Amino acid sequence: MLERLPLELTGSADRVLCRMFIPGEEDLIRGPSRIPEVVGRALELSEATVESTLEAIERDFCGRHRDLRDQFLSHYRAVSHLVDQEISSARQLLVGAYLTQEYAIEGAAYFNPSMVAHPEEPDSEEGNLRFIMSVRAVGEGHISTVVFRSGFIGGDGEVAVDAPSPYASIRARRYTILRRRYVRQSAVEAGLDSTDLELVLGMLPDKFTSEELLATLNQLDPSGLRNTTSDELIRTMQEIARNSYESDFPDESVLSERVLWPTAPEERRGMEDLRLVRLRDEDEPVRYRGSYTAFDGTRVQSRILETDDFRSFSSMSLTGQGSQNKGMAFFPRRIGGKYVALSRWDRESMSVTISEDSYHWNHVRPIDLGKSPWELVHVGNCGSPIEVDEGWLVLTHGAGAMRQYAIGAMLLDRDDPTKILGRLPEPLLKASPDERNGYVPNVVYSCGGLVNGDLLVIPYGISDCRIRFARIQLSALISAMV
């Protein structure tokens, strides 16, 4: 039933971005910062040496970045407090250059794609559907980032992907933004007294910044607290704020240049396997939501990413039993007035989890524990459920012997997604002989397919190193389920 398409995507080591380099605090070998010593030596260079060195650096690197000088100046400003003398603009740029490094975001791995319909209108040709696709890209130190591609699916299911920009950038305005309903539950689950918490939240608007939170906390009268110390309250609220942020990329930036870089403490070692979905609730504007796994080096945490234009993104932690572990996937609309998601909270089976606000997931109902040989180790989803005439189509993944990963499919009831109406008895897709070798062998994995007409297109990662596409008729897929 399934047809593999000839198109194959690989990461490019040519796509590099600039990031801050702190001598002595390299990612894998951390020690005390050596910035003061490096800056001091740069200040001792003669002006002629400064100008010739800067000229050589710009000659070698300007063609690789859209705004190299701005990057240098930004990195200089981060340490300008160490400079107690007037220095030339050339010397400022050179100091910034010494504190800059290139990072090949796709240099190690490029995999686990997720497709959604593009927020702009589809192409004018009949039957074409424009899409945006997120990709997990891995670079030096095994840091996972999120990059984006765009393209269209033709009426015949053929896939065309736009060439990416040669540039890549993490330059975005980042700031903390908090929603009162999110903070309320997160703080309660962190152990704060609800009455004391309301004393603070009652002084804040529905949406507020970390600066507004800090100002409110500073005005707080400790004598009004019943069961919480002011230090405990401030510490907990600031920790919640540190793990919530928004990133706004410049208006003139190009989609494929925008790189979502780990920002919150709990994701400092990577943002993994974003599962995107286009929300369709009638009483809300069209927007996009995705779940992803944050990794801090030792622990994982499910987080939510939201956007309506793929230029401005908000990110925050998810809480509750249903958000534990990896692999959440949101349904594209509410069911019975509730937000619903698929969960693999216990690390081995699939459940349905429910939320009142889409951030806190405390209600869990198991639906599937794989028992077939190809999914005996564990099962999970391969992206958000897709609504079809017959119910909810779910692409699944299963791990079997020799840690082989395969992709399957099941159908859930439209009104009660805890009911399985049918499933494929065998995998829909497993690694072919030419797909078995790579960064992680014997793995095929997707974070979300897209329907165009009667065709389902599945982008999938191959052994965690490259991406291919497959297509199948929906009617044939549903008919094959038992």
Tell me: the pLDDT tens digits for 58-114? 999 999 999 999 999 999 999 999 999 999 999 999 999 999 999 999 999 999 999
- Contact of 108 with 142, CB cutoff 8 Å: yes
d(CA 105, CA 16): 6
Using 50, 70 and 90 to split pLDDT, how confident is the model at 125?
Answer: low
Burial of 119 (0-12, 13-18, 19+ CB in 10 A): middle
Spell 19-30 as b/e; 16+ CB within 10 A means b: bebbbeeeeeee
d(CA 367, CA 122): 36
Enter the pTM of the model. 0.92
Q: Considering only CA atoms, which of 63, 133, 135, 131 is closest in space to residue 102?
A: 63
**Cα distances (angstroms) measured from residue 400 to each of 375, 397, 441:** 5, 10, 13
Radius of gyration in angstroms for the set of CA atoms belonging to the chain, rounded to a whole number: 24
Instruction: Please give the biggest Cα pair distance in the chain.
Output: 78
d(CA 254, CA 147): 12
- Contact of 237 with 200, CB cutoff 8 Å: yes
Q: Which two tokens stand for residue 394?
A: 């779910």
Digit-coded pLDDT (tens) for 421-475? 999 999 999 999 999 999 999 999 999 999 999 999 999 999 999 999 999 999 9
Query: Kind and range of the H or E element at 180?
Result: helix 180-189
- Contact of 277 with 448, CB cutoff 8 Å: yes
* Range scoring the smallest mean pLDDT among 4-8, 33-37, 126-130: 126-130
List, in sequence order, every residue forming a beta bridge with 248; answer none if it has no partner: 173, 312
- Contact of 171 with 278, CB cutoff 8 Å: no
Q: Position 142: which residue type?
A: H
- Contact of 342 with 372, CB cutoff 8 Å: no
- In 3-state terms the chain splits into helix, strand, coil percentages (rounded to 5) of 25, 35, 40
In percent, the amount of the chain with pLDDT more than 70 equals 98
Q: What is the CA angle 255-258-262, rounded to 5?
A: 145
- Contact of 445 with 405, CB cutoff 8 Å: yes
Using 50, 70 and 90 to split pLDDT, how confident is the model at 404?
Answer: very high
